[in-house]
Amino acid sequence: MDTESKSSRVNIHTDFQTRRLYANDASSYEELPEGVAFPISPEEIISLVHYANKHNQSITARGAGTSLAGQTTGGGIIMDVGRNMNKILDIDPQKKTADVQPGVIRDTLNREAGKHDLLFGPDTATTNRCMIGGMIGNNSCGIFSIKHQTTREHLLELETVLSDGSQVRFKALTEEELSAKMKLDSLEGKIYREMVELIRNHREAILDNYPHPEIIRRNTGYALDRLCEMQPFNPDGRKFNLAELLCGSEGTLAMTTRAKLNLLPKDSERVMVVPHFPSIRKAMEATVEAVKMEPAAVELVDDIILDATKGNIEQRNNRFFLEGNPKGILIIQFEGNNRKILEQKARNLADRLDKSGHSDTAPIITENDKIERVWNLRKAGLGLLMGLGSKGRTPTFSEDTAVRVADLPDYIDDFQRILDKHNSDCVFYAHASVGELHLRPVINLQEPEEIEKMKTMAEEIADLVRRYRGSLSGEHGDGRARAPYIEKVLGSDMMPLLKKVKQIWDPNNIFNPGKIVDPKPMEADLRYSPSYHRPQVDTHFNWRKEESFADAVELCNGAGVCRKLSESGGTMCPSYMATREEKDSTRGRANLFRQLFSGRDKEAFQSEELNDALDLCLSCKACKSECPANVDMARMKAEFKQGWHEEHRITLGERFFAQAGKLYPIASRFPRLSNWMMKQPAVKELLQQLLGIDKRRDLPAFAESTFMEWFANRPQNDIPETDPHNEVVLLIDIFTNYHEPGIGKAAIRFLESQEYTVIVPDIHEIGRPQISKGMLGHAKTVLDDTLATLSAFASQEIPIVGLEPSETLTIRDEYLDLCDDDQLQTAQQVADHTYTFEEFSANLVQESPKSDPRQKVYVQTHCHAQSLIGSSSIKGALQQAGYQVQIMDAGCCGMAGSFGYERNHYDVSMDVGELRLFPALRSLPEDALICAPGFSCRHQIKDGTNRKAFHPAQILTNIFD
Q: What is the pLDDT of residues 22-56, one digit of tens each?
A: 999 999 999 999 999 999 999 999 999 999 999 99
Q: How far is 126 from 107, CA to CA, in rounded Å?
A: 9
Higher per-residue confidence, 948 vs 717: 948
pLDDT of res. 391: 54
What H or E segment, with its residue span, contains residue 614? helix 608-614
Region 230-244: mean pLDDT is 97
pLDDT of residue 305: 87
Q: What is the pLDDT of residue 608?
A: 96
Q: Could you write out the DSSP letters of every residue in 404-440?
A: -GGGHHHHHHHHHHHHHHTT--EEEEE-GGGTB-EEE
CA distance 105 to 128: 7
CB neighbour list of residue 757: distance below 8 Å, 6 or more residues apart? 722, 723, 724, 726, 727, 728
Q: Nearest to residue 657, comparing CAs of 549, 552, 539, 775? A: 775
pLDDT at 849 over 50: no
Strand runs labelled E in 745-789: 756-759
In this predicted structure, what is the pLDDT of residue 1?
40
pLDDT band at 854 (very low <50, low <70, confident <90, very high): low
Q: Where are the domains of the chain?
A: 2-80, 269-475, 549-648, 856-957
CA separation for the pair 493, 63 (Å, rounded): 33
Model pLDDT, residue 751: 95
3-state secondary structure at position 949: strand
**356 secondary structure, DSSP code:** T
Q: How far apart are CA 1 and CA 465, in angstroms?
A: 47
Phi, psi values for residue 69, rounded to 5°: -115, 10
Cβ proximity of 291 and 349 under 8 Å: no
pLDDT for residue 390: 55
Is 80 exceeded by the pLDDT of residue 156?
yes
Residue 393: pLDDT band by 50, 70, 90 thresholds?
Answer: low
**CA dist 117 → 112, 261, 421 (Å):** 9, 15, 51
pLDDT at residue 140 in the model? 95
Domain 269-475 indexed as CATH 3.40.50.1000:
no
Band (633; pLDDT cuts 50, 70, 90): very high
**3-state DSSP of 698-712:** CCCCCCCCCHHHHHH
Burial of 714 from C-beta contacts in 10 A (0-12 / 13-18 / 19+): exposed
Segments of 229-312 assigned E as strands: 255-262, 264-265, 269-273, 276-277, 297-302
Inter-residue contact 859 to 871 (CB < 8 Å): yes
Of the pLDDT bands very low, low, confident and very high (cuts 50, 70, 90), residue 399 is confident
Q: What's the CATH fold of domain 2-80?
A: 3.30.43
AA identity, residue 489: V
pLDDT tens-digit series, residues 357-381 = 999 899 999 999 999 999 988 887 7
Instruction: Give, for 365, the enclosing helix (H) or strand (E).
Output: strand 364-365
- Residues contacting 788, CB < 8 A, separation 6+: none
Judge if the upstream peptide bond of residue 295 is cis by omega within 30 degrees of 0: no
Q: Strands 929-931, 949-950: parallel, antiparallel or unpaired by DSSP?
A: parallel
pLDDT (0 to 100) of residue 716: 82
H helices within 495-548, ranges in order? 495-505
> What count of other Cβ atoms lies within 10 Å of the Cβ of residue 337?
11
Length of the chain, please?
961
Start-to-end CA span in the chain (Å): 55
Structure confidence by residue, pLDDT tens digits, 414-459: 999 999 999 988 888 889 999 998 888 888 899 999 999 999 999 9
pLDDT at 833 over 70: yes
CA 892 to chain centre: 15
Which of 547, 555, 534 shows the shortest CA–CA distance to 383? 555
Looking at residue 6, its pLDDT comes to 41
CB-based contact 281:292 (threshold 8 Å):
no
**pLDDT given for residue 646 in this prediction:** 93
How far is Cα 890 from Cα 903, in angstroms, rounded to an integer? 24
In this predicted model, which residue has the larger pLDDT, 663 or 180? 180
Which tens digit of pLDDT belongs to each residue from 108-153?
Answer: 999 999 999 999 999 998 999 999 999 999 999 989 999 999 999 9
Cβ(167)–Cβ(229) below 8 Å? no
What is the side-by-side strand order in the sheet with 756-759? 756-759, 723-731, 800-802, 834-836
Angle at CA of residue 477, ends 475 and 479, nearest 5°: 165
Q: 25: number of CA atoms within 13 Å, CB side?
A: 26
CB 133 within 8 A of CB 102: yes
- Cα separation, 286 vs 277, in Å, equals 9
CA distance 138 to 71: 9
